[in-house]
Structure 1
Amino acid sequence: MEPTTLEEPTPSERLEEEQEVSLARAFGGRSFLRDVVETLLLTLIIFLVVNTLTGRFQVRGTSMEPTLHNGQYIIVSKLSYRLSDPQRGDIIVFHPPNGSREDYIKRIIGLPGERVEIREGAVWINGYRLEEPYITSPMPYTGSWELGPDEYFVLGDNRGGSSDSHSWGPLPRENIIGKAWFCYWPPQHWGPLPHYRFPPIEEEE
């Protein structure tokens, strides 16, 4: 039986092996770098899409008590009113027309073309008294407004402590940022926001 022997690779064979190892390392590094770039691009795309369709806001003050509380963080859908019109009872975030740099959050009470009156401590739409179970005290003011084709009347649920349409007038639709959708902080208030649905209102005969 012949003894087993090991042959040393020739210089040319050794060079080929080193080149193969170098190529494998190069392609491996390129694959890792590509994965990192693709992950970053995907993260950026998701971030841009989410921020285009939604916004995150903090409730400041007590103008929406008892429905919303100071310090709550909410998600606002910017897509909702591209698909449908704002509805009475919706809670919305908007740029106020009174010159304030802060965004406001209120509830839609009057719709385009309606006549809004505040008297006897209540809201009247086209002569019909609006029943609002989410407020806890009557309004300490009076007034009357005729809304234009693209104007909304918004009020805070805390009627005695809110800067809203009763003090600075109707809200143009173009000022609306979106529909308040979800509270994500603090944990005890986590969940969808309570939008109220009213029955249809007709002109008083």
Structure 2
Amino acid sequence: MELQTAPSEEPEFEEEPQEVSLSRAFGGQSILRDLFETLVLTLIIFFVVNALTGRFQVRGSSMEPSLHSGQYLIVSKLSYRLGEPQRGDIVVFEPPNGTGEDYIKRIIGLPGERVEARDGAIWINGYRLEEPYVASPVPYTGSWQLGPDEYFVLGDNRANSSDSHSWGPLPAKN
């Protein structure tokens, strides 16, 4: 008869932890490459956004109640390269009176139109313009015939705005 012995129950030992360098754990230069790629991508996005948009701050009350002094706007630089300005668009431009400061106004009259300010309202080619964004009646009178490359721009706060009613039509190039 043969005696069988029970298998020995020796405790199993795990391998001792080894130190692993970051470069070996993450594939060598991987971290530096990832950081570099992230930085390059961030810079590309920054320059593209700056090339396609402009940031402006509203100064003054000429566009109230639509825009208020201190508000910031992000404006597309491509809009009018892809299409023509439309009545009602709010635009940022350099005024023809050369103040060196950008103005923010609303397009009211389009090239070739006749704009009139009378009876507390704006009239385009003899038709009264509905302007729900204006809080008070137009306090001035006048009549302007726009040329083929001119726009008529007004602030929404008609009583407190330096705009086309005071310095005339805005050339399209502005």
- Does the TM-score normalized on the shorter chain lie above 0.5? yes
Name the counterpart of 2:141. 142
SS where residue 166 of structure 1 aligns? helix
Name the counterpart of 2:108. 109
Give, in whole Å, the separation in 1 of the partners of 2:76 and 2:114: 28
Q: Output the aligned Cα RMSD.
A: 1.9
Partner amino acid, structure 1, of 2:157 = N
| 1:1-205 alignment runs, 5 A limit | 28=28, 30-175=29-174
Measured after TM superposition, the shift of residue 24 of structure 1 is 5.9
The normalised TM-score by structure 2 is 0.80
**Sequence identity, in percent?**
78
Partner amino acid, structure 2, of 1:94 = F
* Structure with the higher helix share, 1 or 2: 1
Unaligned ranges ≥5, structure 1: 1-20, 176-205
Larger radius of gyration: 2
SS where residue 166 of structure 2 aligns? helix
Give, in whole Å, the separation in 2 of the partners of 1:110 and 1:96: 16
The normalised TM-score by structure 1 is 0.69
Partner amino acid, structure 2, of 1:70 = S
Aligned length: 152
The Cα offsets for residues 48-93 of structure 1, whole Å up to 9 and x where unpaired, read as: 1111111111111100111111111111111221221110011111
Partner amino acid, structure 2, of 1:69 = H
- Could you list the structure 1 runs, at least 4 aligned residues long, displaced by more than 6 angstroms after superposition: none
